[in-house]
């Protein structure tokens, strides 16, 4: 029972050790990834994983839930305080399941929904054909404008009046511009639709008031906890008081059964961390760093979709370099820089190749990097992508990345890839 992981399963222990090494020695520019604190990691690896707790605090289907009730109540109360929400459900296992529960709470199969499609920056669960959302609900999509590459609210308004959706979805995975939720509320009210925000990416910025607040304007808000919020891998839902019962019933027993109580405990820790001045300063720096990176990339000739960013991420259009996003991501990985390929609006190639990449600043900002390092990263990215034939350039950059990473350790007191 008490043997160490490395004794019980040396192969997994070794993979974790190497993962720690990888995370320490590369630049994570994937905007949905981050480094959770050691406290969050410890909570996520705790004994609450052993407990079944279907139901909600004070009303469980199993006995022995006193301590997990404490954890869940703390998570709920902290999230309510952090965001000023009427009601919070912290049980969704993932962002996709939070969205599934949100639709389940407010819609019937076949209801109409208006959303941004995946290839313009939305998410699979925003009505993609191969996803449950596209199968069970009737989605109509608005897109970004071909010229400005931002969402044109006049187009959204016209579509809303034509389609009369039951729910309008706002909030995205690959859209670099701020969202004016008050304007979206007006459109939703004009057609008597629910307004739902999926803030999985920007939730940390919202908590720190670095992005407009959806809470006063949206009926329901879904989010992950592991991106800019820097918590454990998971999700939660906020909603207006009148939808509280529907949301709770949708999460359990609607789309999930046993909640992951160890992850809920870690969510409580993350919400507590997000109430601190240092978290607010971190979110402020995320935005400064993203803007600095965007500017430095544009100065080196890269075209950014919509001309820049207001948030933590940006989309780089690689068509002028005659390069696929998939190729760019592989070249950069060889040089120690991790980005993800990403379709750009009106892309002519498949999403498996994609014409863009989606760099972001949350993880490198957690390491303590600031504007000068963003300039250095842009310079290294430029050297790699402007000279794709040169293996020696990638080797040189890899060496520089290693040196930069050594100056900004991720977990000073962690020597194995786990906290136990
Ligand atoms: N996979 C997430 C992202 O990278 O944005 C969205 O679910």
CATH number at residue 363: 3.90.1150.10
CATH number where 206 lies: 3.40.640.10
Give the pLDDT score at 419: 80
pLDDT in tens, 170-182: 999 999 999 999 9
Please enumerate, as own/partner, the contacts of 383-392 that have beta carbons within 8 Å and a separation of 24 or more: 384/331, 384/332, 384/334, 384/335, 384/337, 385/302, 385/318, 385/321, 385/323, 385/328, 385/331, 385/332, 386/300, 386/301, 386/321, 388/323, 388/327, 388/331
For ligand 1, is residue 173 a contact (CB within 6 Å)? yes
Is 332 within a domain? yes
The C-alpha atoms of residue 345 and residue 149 are separated, in whole angstroms, by 7
The C-alpha atoms of residue 205 and residue 286 are separated, in whole angstroms, by 8
Ligand 1 atom closest to 173 (CA): 5
For ligand 1, is residue 95 a contact (CB within 6 Å)? yes
Q: Is the pLDDT assigned to residue 383 strictly greater than 90?
A: yes
- In this structure, the answer to whether residues 242 and 285 fall within a common structural domain is no
Residue 198 known to be catalytic: yes
Of the residues 72, 119, 163, 198, which is catalytic?
198
Residue 224 known to be catalytic: yes
Of the residues 163, 177, 219, 224, which is catalytic?
224
Nearest to 297 by CA among 206, 176, 408: 176
Q: What is the overall mean pLDDT for the chain?
A: 97
Residue 11 known to be catalytic: no
Q: Name the one residue in this structure whose structure tokens are 């007191």.
A: 413
pLDDT in tens, 289-327: 999 999 999 999 999 999 999 999 999 999 999 999 999
Give the pLDDT score at 412: 85
Give the pLDDT score at 291: 98
Reported as a pLDDT band with limits 50, 70 and 90, residue 213 is very high
Q: Is the pLDDT assigned to residue 1 strictly greater than 80?
A: no
Is 196 within a domain? yes
Are the C-beta atoms of residues 99 and 125 closer than 8 Å to each other?
yes
Q: Where are the alpha helices (DSSP H) in 128-221?
A: 132-136, 153-163, 181-190, 203-207
> C-alpha angle with apex 309: 304 to 313, nearest 5 degrees?
90
For ligand 1, is residue 123 a contact (CB within 6 Å)? yes
- In this structure, the answer to whether residues 303 and 352 fall within a common structural domain is yes
- In this structure, the answer to whether residues 162 and 227 fall within a common structural domain is yes
- In this structure, the answer to whether residues 186 and 303 fall within a common structural domain is no
Ligand 1 centre and the CA of 141: distance in Å? 19
The C-alpha atoms of residue 210 and residue 310 are separated, in whole angstroms, by 9
Residue 227 known to be catalytic: yes
Is 171 within a domain? yes
Are the C-beta atoms of residues 268 and 39 closer than 8 Å to each other?
no
pLDDT in tens, 136-173: 999 999 999 999 999 999 999 999 999 999 999 999 99
Is 151 within a domain? yes
Beta strands in 144-234 (DSSP E): 167-170, 194-198, 220-224
- Out of 206, 241, 273, a domain closes at 273
- In this structure, the answer to whether residues 262 and 312 fall within a common structural domain is no
- In this structure, the answer to whether residues 91 and 49 fall within a common structural domain is yes
Average pLDDT over residues 185-191: 98
The C-alpha atoms of residue 267 and residue 36 are separated, in whole angstroms, by 11
Residue 330 known to be catalytic: no
The C-alpha atoms of residue 203 and residue 211 are separated, in whole angstroms, by 9
- Interaxial angle between packed helices 371-386 and 277-299, expressed in degrees from 0 to 180 and rounded to the nearest 10: 40
- In this structure, the answer to whether residues 116 and 239 fall within a common structural domain is yes
Residue 387 known to be catalytic: no
Ligand 1 centre and the CA of 328: distance in Å? 19
Ligand 1 atom closest to 32 (CA): 4
> C-alpha angle with apex 361: 355 to 363, nearest 5 degrees?
115
**How many CB atoms sit inside 10 A of residue 328's CB?**
24
- In this structure, the answer to whether residues 173 and 231 fall within a common structural domain is yes
Give the pLDDT score at 3: 84
> Which domain covers residue 132, as residue numbers?
42-273
Give the pLDDT score at 343: 98
pLDDT in tens, 332-361: 999 999 999 999 999 999 999 999 999 999
- Out of 231, 252, 273, a domain closes at 273
For ligand 1, is residue 291 a contact (CB within 6 Å)? no
For ligand 1, is residue 32 a contact (CB within 6 Å)? yes
What is residue 302's DSSP assignment?
P
- In this structure, the answer to whether residues 70 and 172 fall within a common structural domain is yes
- In this structure, the answer to whether residues 268 and 292 fall within a common structural domain is no
What is residue 420's DSSP assignment?
-
Are the C-beta atoms of residues 201 and 227 closer than 8 Å to each other?
yes
- In this structure, the answer to whether residues 55 and 184 fall within a common structural domain is yes
Q: What percent of the chain has pLDDT over 90?
A: 97
Residue nearest to atom 6 of ligand 1 (CA): 173
- Out of 251, 273, 295, a domain closes at 273
Is 178 within a domain? yes
Give the pLDDT score at 254: 98
Ligand 1 centre and the CA of 32: distance in Å? 6
- In this structure, the answer to whether residues 76 and 211 fall within a common structural domain is yes
Structural element, H or E, at residue 392: helix 391-407
Is 172 within a domain? yes
Strands 87-89 and 235-239: antiparallel
Q: Is the pLDDT assigned to residue 133 strictly greater than 90?
A: yes
Q: Is the pLDDT assigned to residue 266 strictly greater than 80?
A: yes
Domain count, the chain: 2
> C-alpha angle with apex 246: 245 to 252, nearest 5 degrees?
85
Round to the nearest angstrom and report the end-to-end CA distance of the chain.
13
The C-alpha atoms of residue 311 and residue 325 are separated, in whole angstroms, by 21
Average pLDDT over residues 392-408: 98
Is 413 within a domain? no
Is 241 within a domain? yes
Are the C-beta atoms of residues 349 and 355 closer than 8 Å to each other?
yes
């Amino acid at each position: 029972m008490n043997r160490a992981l490395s004794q019980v399963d040396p192969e997994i222990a070794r993979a974790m050790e190497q993962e720690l090494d990888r995370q320490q020695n590369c630049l994570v520019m994937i905007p949905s990834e981050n480094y959770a604190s050691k406290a969050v990691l410890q909570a996520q690896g705790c004994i609450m994983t052993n407990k079944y707790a279907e139901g909600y605090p004070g009303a469980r289907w199993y006995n022995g839930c006193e301590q997990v009730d404490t954890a869940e109540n703390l998570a709920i109360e902290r999230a309510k305080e952090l965001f000023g929400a009427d009601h919070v459900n912290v049980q969704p296992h993932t962002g996709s399941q939070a969205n599934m529960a949100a639709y389940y709470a407010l819609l019937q199969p076949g209801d109409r929904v208006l959303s941004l499609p995946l290839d313009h920056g939305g998410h699979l669960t925003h009505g993609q054909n191969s996803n449950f959302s596209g199968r069970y609900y009737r989605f109509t999509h608005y897109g970004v404008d071909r010229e400005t590459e931002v969402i044109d609210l006049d187009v959204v308004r016209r579509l809303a009046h034509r389609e009369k959706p039951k729910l309008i979805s706002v909030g995205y995975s690959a859209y670099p511009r701020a969202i004016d939720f008050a304007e979206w509320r007006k459109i939703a009210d004009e057609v008597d639709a629910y307004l739902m925000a999926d803030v999985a990416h920007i939730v940390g910025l919202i908590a720190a008031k670095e992005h407009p607040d959806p809470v006063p304007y949206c009926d329901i808000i879904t989010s992950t906890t592991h991106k800019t919020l820097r918590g454990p891998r998971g999700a939660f839902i906020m909603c207006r008081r009148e939808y509280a019962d529907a949301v709770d019933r949708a999460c359990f027993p609607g789309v999930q059964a046993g909640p992951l109580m160890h992850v809920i405990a870690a969510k409580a820790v993350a919400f507590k961390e997000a109430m601190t001045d240092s978290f607010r300063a971190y979110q402020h720096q995320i935005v400064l760093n993203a803007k600095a990176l965007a500017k430095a990339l544009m100065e080196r000739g890269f075209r950014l979709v919509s001309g820049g960013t207001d948030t933590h991420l940006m989309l780089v259009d690689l068509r002028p370099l005659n390069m696929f996003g998939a190729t760019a991501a592989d070249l950069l990985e060889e040089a120690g820089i991790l980005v993800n390929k990403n379709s750009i609006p009106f892309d002519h190639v498949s999403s498996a190749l994609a014409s863009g990449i989606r760099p972001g600043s949350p993880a490198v900002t957690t390491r303590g990097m600031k504007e000068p390092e963003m300039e250095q990263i842009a310079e290294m990215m430029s050297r790699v992508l402007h000279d794709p034939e040169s293996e020696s350039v990638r080797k040189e950059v890899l060496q520089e990345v290693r040196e930069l990473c050594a100056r900004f350790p991720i977990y000073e007191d962690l020597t194995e890839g786990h906290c136990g």
